């Protein structure tokens, strides 16, 4: 484990991930499991958020109590599969600001092309968590982080469910300052860019499309 890569080995994460990988897991089970894993990954990612003390009153007395310091977190979902991770993170951090980045792959150049980008303000002062379940080639993830940095973000984490070694290397090369937090690192990419052994197309499995 390096600063650039955190693999969350929590038994609940690993068990739920195995259920998600299985061919026979239904769309609704897949979506629910993804939500649960994203809560656990978010717990890990937010474990070092800075705190500050605030004076509050309990029913018995006044006290200095810890609250999160600084500006609200920003979550950026990389469409469309990123939306499957978003809800679980929002369960834990309901006040987070949320942005969306949409990219498609140009079939001739094979490069990601932006079709949508709407990001929260003041990204410079927020921890930004970009979410996309599959870090495969890394091309669209790197392009999404480019956009987030162009908008001023300085402190970015990339949350995914599965990562391929190729995607990790690509992200590290392009954005060495961005920590990747994932539930597992799989063996390789297939010839057509699927993560192997993987779980198939995450978007199709969570939305029931083909
Ligand atoms: N995107 C997916 O949904 N699955 C993969 O295996 C790779 C990219």
Whether 54 maps to a domain, the answer reads no
Answer yes or no: are the C-beta atoms of 170 and 140 closer than 8 Å.
Answer: no
Contact 194 CB / ligand 1 (< 6 Å)? yes
Count of structural domains within the chain: 1
Whether 111 maps to a domain, the answer reads yes
Q: Which of the four pLDDT bands, split at 50, 70 and 90, describes residue 108?
A: confident
Render pLDDT for 15-50 as a digit per residue (tens, 0 to 9): 999 999 999 999 999 999 999 999 999 999 999 999
Q: Which of the four pLDDT bands, split at 50, 70 and 90, describes residue 104?
A: confident
Which CATH number does the domain housing residue 151 bear? 3.40.50.2020
Atom of ligand 1 nearest to the CA of 190: 6
Contact 202 CB / ligand 1 (< 6 Å)? yes
Ligand 1 mean position to 4 CA, how many Å? 21
Contact 138 CB / ligand 1 (< 6 Å)? no
Domain span holding position 196: 5-47+73-207
CA 33, 38, 82, 183 dihedral sign is: negative
List C-alpha distances in Å: 119 to 44, 98, 113, 129: 24, 7, 17, 12
Whether 67 maps to a domain, the answer reads no
Whether 65 maps to a domain, the answer reads no
Residue 12, SS3 per DSSP: helix
- Give the pLDDT score at 111: 82
Whether 64 maps to a domain, the answer reads no
Render pLDDT for 9-20 as a digit per residue (tens, 0 to 9): 999 999 999 999
User: Residue 2: is its pLDDT beyond 80?
Assistant: no
Protein residue with its CA nearest to atom 5 in ligand 1? 194
Ligand 1 mean position to 23 CA, how many Å? 14
Q: Which of the four pLDDT bands, split at 50, 70 and 90, describes residue 1?
A: very low
Task: Work out the average pLDDT over 103-122.
Answer: 88
Ligand 1 mean position to 138 CA, how many Å? 11
Protein residue with its CA nearest to atom 4 in ligand 1? 201
What is the average pLDDT value for the chain, to the nearest integer? 95
Q: Which of the four pLDDT bands, split at 50, 70 and 90, describes residue 200?
A: very high
Residues known to be catalytic? 105, 109, 201, 204
Residue 178, SS3 per DSSP: coil
Length of the chain: 210
Whether 40 maps to a domain, the answer reads yes
Q: What is the predicted ipTM? A: 0.95
Pair of tokens at residue 181: 């937090």
Pair of tokens at residue 186: 């799989």
Strand partners, 39: none
Protein residue with its CA nearest to atom 2 in ligand 1? 201
Whether 174 maps to a domain, the answer reads yes
- Give the pLDDT score at 82: 95
Question: Cβ atoms within 10 A of the Cβ of 189, count?
Answer: 18
Whether 88 maps to a domain, the answer reads yes
């Amino acid at each position: 484990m390096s600063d650039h890569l955190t693999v969350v080995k929590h038994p609940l994460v690993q068990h739920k991930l195995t259920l998600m990988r299985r061919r026979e897991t239904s769309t609704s089970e897949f979506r629910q499991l993804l939500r649960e894993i994203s809560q656990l990954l978010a717990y890990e990612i937010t474990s070092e958020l800075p705190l500050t003390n605030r004076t509050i009153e309990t029913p018995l007395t006044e006290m200095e109590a810890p609250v999160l310091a600084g500006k609200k977190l920003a979550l950026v979902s990389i469409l469309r599969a990123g939306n499957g991770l978003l809800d679980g993170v929002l369960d834990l951090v309901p006040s987070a600001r949320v942005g969306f980045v949409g990219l498609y792959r140009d079939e001739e150049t094979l490069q990601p092309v932006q079709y949508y980008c709407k990001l929260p303000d003041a990204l410079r002062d927020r921890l930004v968590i970009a979410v996309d379940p599959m870090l495969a080639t890394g091309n669209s993830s790197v392009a999404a982080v480019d956009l987030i940095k162009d908008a001023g973000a300085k402190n970015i984490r990339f949350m995914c469910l599965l990562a391929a070694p190729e995607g990790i290397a690509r992200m590290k090369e392009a954005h060495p300052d961005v920590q990747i937090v994932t539930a597992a690192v799989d063996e390789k990419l297939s010839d057509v860019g699927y993560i192997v052994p993987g779980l198939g197309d995450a978007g199709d499995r969570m939305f029931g499309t083909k």
